[in-house]
Structure 1
Amino acid sequence: MMLGHFESVVSWGVFASGNYVYLTADTLGLQIIDISDPANPVQVGFFDTGSIANGVFVSGNYAYVSDGFDGLRIIDVSDPTNPTEAGFFNTGDRTLDVVVSGTYAYIADGLAGLHILDVSDPANPVEVGSYTPPGTARRVYVDNNHAYIASGSSGLRIIDVSDPTNPLEVSFVSPAFSTQDVYIDGNYAYIVDWDEGLRILNISDPSNPVEEGYFDTATEGVAVHFYNGNAYVADNRTGLWVIRNDLLTGIEKEETFPQSFALHQNYPNPFNPGTSIRYELPKRSRVELQVLNVLGQEVRTLVNETQSPGRYEVQWDGRDNYGRRVASGVYLYRLHAGEAVQTRRMLLMK
């Protein structure tokens, strides 16, 4: 079900965080869209990246933009209405996408393949590793020590990056037409395959991915992101579309809710300065999601409200309840939902 629409002349990349969607719009640069009302998205900020803005990833207060032949642009978006540049890196080819996990940025750099940068200092990124798969590296997503590269006519390439200085390919998926983008959610990879729509792969075993579903998009799908149960799909001709995530068995079937309570591992982890926490509710519940220190003392309350059954994603920016940045180290995050309680650990690195 389509919930809302923001008209953009050209859209190549999309990332949702908090109440904002960050849209890369070719020569129009980075557009920042307020989605607090999904039915009425409104642009609140803009940054001219200088070249062709392709992919975007937001981590903490920074938007990492792959800007064609101008390389990687690192934009401070702590004030979404006034974004400013914090740093850049010249990759040497056509930079098409970027993902940040922990202190590393993974860049899809066209025919030059995958670059891995240390971005612990956003003002001074440094390359530590690289890998060149077949085809054109268009998009990249990193999850559980694997990089998933959308490589156009060479399909989806799955790379083991447990050692960032020595990435190794473990499997690949042939394209239906031309694999443009990939997003990982749990055990599933969602890939946009141009005119062939959105394909859903089970990647519980990254060395043996299996296709399990699809959604037939209307025209030229180029990018996809999942957030709070909705798919945000960037279309090359018609802008941003917001679609409810009923995709596992097809959009025409009845909506399905989670069958059990679940709290997932945060992503990225380790992280700096921000991370995402996903959880699932099988029924309407009073929900409290808190960040605790290792002594069990409250650091930040992220959610404290009654929520309907569904899948949720919450951002933590590494700050406490008073807006102060917390120290590096191990933190706990605990979810109460009715009678259910679950706690996980995460690592903040600076």
Structure 2
Amino acid sequence: MRPARALIDLQALRHNYRLARRLGGGRALAVVKADAYGHGAVACARALEAEADGFAVAAIEEALELREAGITAPILLLEGFFEAAELELIDRHRLWTVVQAPWQVEAIARARLSAPLQVWVKLDSGMHRLGLSPAEFTGAWRRLRALPQVAGLVAMTHFARADELDSSRTAEQAAVFSDVLAGLDERPVASLCNSAAILGWPAVLPTPPADRDADAERSREEGGTSWARPGLMLYGANPFAGPHAGADLLRPVMTVESKLIAVRELAAGEPVGYGARYVTPMPMRIGVVAMGYADGYPQFAPDGTPVSIDGRPGRLAGRVSMDMLTVDLSGHPDATVGTPVQLWGDRVRADELARHCGTSAYELLCGLKRMPRGIRGA
């Protein structure tokens, strides 16, 4: 069997969720969209269900996969519903839904439901992707609040640049959100923070209502006083461009590893791989690893990209092929066929690899293909 595989550490996943919940200061929806960022949505949801406050997915297909697997916890549809007919499934499977456009408000008002819905109302505070404008938000909120089809409301927004710690945009968006909510007749349950905001922007975390406020009881009934939405950090990747003290507390959940399947003894001046991008500067040993871009490893990873060879630092030497890549075995005199190579995990962090390759940890994790997954820490 081809030795390339991905190992998923569910204990690390639980650790990262607990950290997100603690730093978020309230409740936390574990974001498991895109097959839990390539980690396996069902396995991750099962691992977290005993302690997670709920889950978030992109669309109803992902929610139904979790329900069919026996997940009974709350599941939020982050993109809401795409047509009014989906409300029947949302009702049947007791899903929570985002409302991000006026037509969705009217669709709920016309719906015949077996029980009222939990609705998250999204404000476009400046990302300009999905969400009600500040001018639309208050009217939509009040209309939804008055509907018998609605059990409870959460106000939410999404930050565009929370991973840029030197940008003022996150504080500006938080101020827009705060100003719009100040125009409501209540202090609503709020949800602002994705992974980068949880780790890097504690000042924008929602302030809970005081216990004496009439809204505090409603807040508790509708799911706590605030909700965080950790995604990337659940899987142990740093969302920032450089080191960060909070991100250093995360544990990588995915380890991608393979083995050497050949060792070449080359003279100085010999080309390695497609295009002769790498030429040996001296006599050296080159190892061939069963891993390539068809597995999800970046095709254009440059020479010198870090790997871990039998637990010690190594580096890429030559262009990545569809099924193989080549590494410099200088300093690894004992490396031979069958020697393990980690491509990313606890020794080479996914975000570190992404920086070398001009991509993101999101793309690496979500782009993993072909190789089997193994589970540990279940």
Q: Do the two structures share a fold, i.e. TM-score over 0.5?
A: no
Higher Rg: 2
Bigger share in helix: 2
| Relative contact order higher in (CA < 8 Å, ≥ 6 apart) | 2
**TM-score range for the pair, normalised by the shorter chain length:** under 0.3
Query: TM-score scaled to structure 2, two decimals?
Result: 0.26
Bigger share in strand: 1
